[in-house]
Structure 1
């Protein structure tokens, strides 16, 4: 059974730069329309989080800053020029965080839950970053860990989930991050040798995709998911960012919707003994909504091909193949 955490207010929420804010909103609006046509799911209304909930994951000074800028009568930036603030923003932030709280509660009864407006993996404890005012995924992971659950995270996005890695680097949570990387592409983090420390030692995996990689490279990268069943998680959190699509406005990869459908199929296969909580992640292109639904169709076990498969140079395939082999040899 699939549950989608949904509130019509999601259609009007975007924390991204003003130049792409409307595109981000349109993705969420189109997603729910297409999902209602193609998917069988239960709609779950999110509760609103509290300031105390927010303080579990962010510093008090930063939370106060969000509260203060929410009272200003104009739009500005929370960070260096990516993540906006606007009048009444705090209410939207609490609704977004509340979606994760709701997902945790309902996961007792529903095996797979998806939050289309979520997956803000760049935010740090003390500041916003990369269109992310809060880190809802870290909140969920830590809340589940505190409950004694065994958590695995699969973070697939055009951009490395630097905030999520920082929060959980020393935690006994399996963390797999698949992203575009050339050493400079935002946020520029995610070295292969960063494997975790303390309780998280050996549990952090960064899979770097060469810029403009196609479906064939992505499929090769997904071999890393072989390690998930060995970890035996009770929960799998998946950030299914679709900003790696070939037509995305923040061009970085050359993926088609086929890759996201395959991701869903793979997650379904490795989650037979796990609950799944998924997040929509990033996406700023005309096919973003379709890719999100293709992922969920895969999660239901349905293959969908609405675009031609994309291909890469042999060198890119070999690079990722060697990378995955190296990481698989280091699993413990």
Structure 2
């Protein structure tokens, strides 16, 4: 067990220490903070049921907790829970020692025995995007959904970024209309927690029906919105809410459109629901990247639009989009 002792903070520095704790909480994204808090509660409940101390916990207790959940939780979830437990210990000035050979080897064995590829949602490719959009009604909700899907696709936005877009300049994410198209200003993102900011261009599309610029302008004109959130809830009476839609609503809107298309193609409601479940908010971002790769867009341009810091991340989308291009099996004379 660690022998580190937290030194008392002088009274004069106490207000700054409290502010430091508040700033430290902002070091991680809000979703990560919520996940870590939930993970720590689960560990505390497990320890309480066994009469064990959760904070500070013995390394053996942490390892036993991981082993007890290898058949019910994914390795990626266990990895996050271990990180949450470590961080909770660090917050009280206690270093959880997981560096012993016994702990390290057991954890390596868990990952080797139970790791599995992450289940990825399907990208919404351009041909399918056209079919899905064609069935959206020319109602206020249909106009919003069409604009939302096309802006999310064209700018390769994460669902939280798309949901939070504003119509006027602000410190967060906002959208600007220019003669050559739309510019999405991202004030802070998953890979830019320092809020350096970035601009993403969305040019006019060659087809008016699927042009992000024209469809976004049609939505703004029909809604009468001039400032505040660009995409808002609409009730069954056609009344537009004041707040922004949630990031989860982005996925629901896309899945609802996919269900409508699947039903139109003759699938049963159960089949349509299962088909739609393969898509999520990320399907717009991955759909743009993969569709661009299919059409031979330069890798560096795809990386720039997705704002990936490493090309390794982008190359996964490019490989998916070019599986059958210049494929040796197709050039072997079979």
Bin for the TM-score computed over the shorter chain: under 0.3
For the pair shown, which has the larger CA radius of gyration, 1 or 2? 2
Using the size of structure 1 for normalisation, the TM-score is 0.21
Q: Which has the higher strand share?
A: 1
Q: Which has the higher helix share?
A: 2
